[in-house]
Every structure is written in C-alpha cells, then in structure tokens.
Amino acid sequence: MTKPLVALLSGAGISTDSGIPDYRGPNGLWRRDPEAEKLVTYEYYMGDPEIRRRSWQMRRKNRTLEVEPNAAHRAVAELERAGFPVRVITQNVDGLHQLAGLSARKVLELHGTARSVVCTECRARGPMEDALARVEAGEEDPSCRECGGILKSATVMFGERLDPVVLGDALAIAKACQVFIAVGSSLQVQPAAGLVGVAADHGARLIIVNAEPTPYDDLAEEVVREPIGTALPRLLSAMTEEYGEG
C-alpha cells in the first residue's frame, strides 16, 4: 500500500514534555510575565542595550540547548524510518525534531532556530553555544566577530517577518500532503495556522492533537485531547500498522 505524504505542524505543546514552557497556554510565559515579551521583540531588542543584556541572560538561564527530545518527537522520526514521506513544519525553535533523528532537510522551521545566532548587520551566523560561552565569560552583549554588529538569536522575533522561502515551502507541503497533523499548537498565530485550512481545502485528512480547543477543530476528521507524549506515538503507530511497515 502506498504510504501517504504526512505533514506535521508542531507547536509549543509538543515540547513541554521536554521541559520547554508553552508561551500562550493558561500558564504560558507571556501570560505570566508580559515584560518577557519585550526581550524577544525586534524593535526593543535593537533599540535598547539593557533589553539585549536581559535577553542574553534569559537565554543563558533557560538552558534550551540542554533539553532532549521526548516520545512525541521520537515517534515522528520513527514514522520516517517506517518508510513514510514525512515533512515537519514547526513553530518551535528548539531543534528537537532533528535531535530525535528526523532528517534536517525535512524540517521547516517557520520561526527560525534558537541553536544559532545571526548578525543583524552582515547576516553572519554561528552556534548559539559559542555566543552563550561569551556571555558566561563576562560579555553582557556579545557583538558580531565579523563586523561588530548586533548579534541576535536566529529566531524570528516579534516584529520580524517570516522567511518567505520557508513559508512558501510550507504552503506547498500543505497543498500536497494526504495527511496533515497539527500537534501542540493553539492554531491562533497566522500564517502558520492558515496552513491547516489550506491542507483541508486540498483534501488532506486533518488530525488535531491539542489540549485546548482550536479554531480549526470543526474541519478535522479527528480531534485528540489526550497528552501529546502518549497520544501522538499511539496515533503514528496506528498509522504505521494501517499502511504496513517498510
């Protein structure tokens, strides 16, 4: 049996079991500390050295680079190993899909990656761990070693636009897939959420796995409210059995 192209849109909820907090949920970071949003807002970050210093300290304390993939991330990588054409479109910046073993070229990071830094002037990139080592060594606001420009995380901050190439690729996948699974996303942030409607309009079987209701639940063939760490592996395992392995 021919295996369907499976597209998976992942949001913060898929990574909470790895210890990364959700941002917009009932206990999300932005609800608990509205001031924290300034630390990842481009205009504030570029215009205020104190915001940059606080932002670097936040990244140093968060230890995002030390977290490990969980059962949900591993289940997606296992689906690829079972012979399914898999594409992940993620709103997350943690790189955990790749760490779980999914081919990097099959992961589209809509909001960039927290594992790299980029210069706002010359666009030179480097590892986040190198920049954090400089912060640990006493540099409060490390600058670009190439040109002296302001360094930032290679994530898309509030006030920045998404990479049009990445977004275009995501749109093409949403149109082409036979199965579209939205997991751990509130589906309230555009244009990412709109990919769900595009997939449904193009005939994809839509499955939504999320603790809270989403605006797209009525379009879904199946809505799963159970914890993602158990629900997604079970769902993908059933899909593997349905189409056969290998």
Please give the radius of gyration of the chain, using alpha carbons only, rounded to the nearest integer. 19
The verdict on 127 and 230 lying in the same domain is: no
Instruction: Please give the tally of structural domains in the chain.
Output: 2
Give the residue from 187, 173, 176 showing the smallest Cα distance to 220. 187
C-alpha distance from residue 17 to each of 23, 76, 106, 155 (Å): 14, 15, 22, 21
| Structural domain boundaries, residue 60 | 21-66+115-155
Same domain? For 44 and 96 the reply is: no
Write the DSSP symbol of residue 128.
Answer: H
Nearest to 84 by CA among 203, 7, 4: 4
Task: Looking at the structure, tell me whether residues 209 and 241 fall in a common domain.
Answer: yes
Do 121 and 57 lie in a common domain?
A: yes
Which residue numbers are catalytic?
111
Same domain, 36 and 96: no
What one-letter code names the amino acid at 123?
R
Q: Classify the C-alpha dihedral 16-21-27-31 as positive or negative.
A: negative
Residue partners of 172: CB distance under 8 A and separation at least 6: none
Same domain, 140 and 125: yes
Closest CA to 15 of 31, 33, 28: 28
Query: Could you tell me if 107 and 203 lie in one domain?
Result: yes
pLDDT tens digits, the chain, 246 residues: what are they?
799 999 999 999 999 999 887 655 545 555 566 678 888 899 999 999 999 999 999 888 877 778 899 999 999 999 999 999 999 999 999 999 999 999 999 999 999 999 999 999 999 999 999 999 999 999 999 999 999 999 999 999 999 999 999 999 999 999 999 999 999 999 998 899 999 999 999 999 999 999 999 999 999 999 999 999 999 999 999 999 998 765
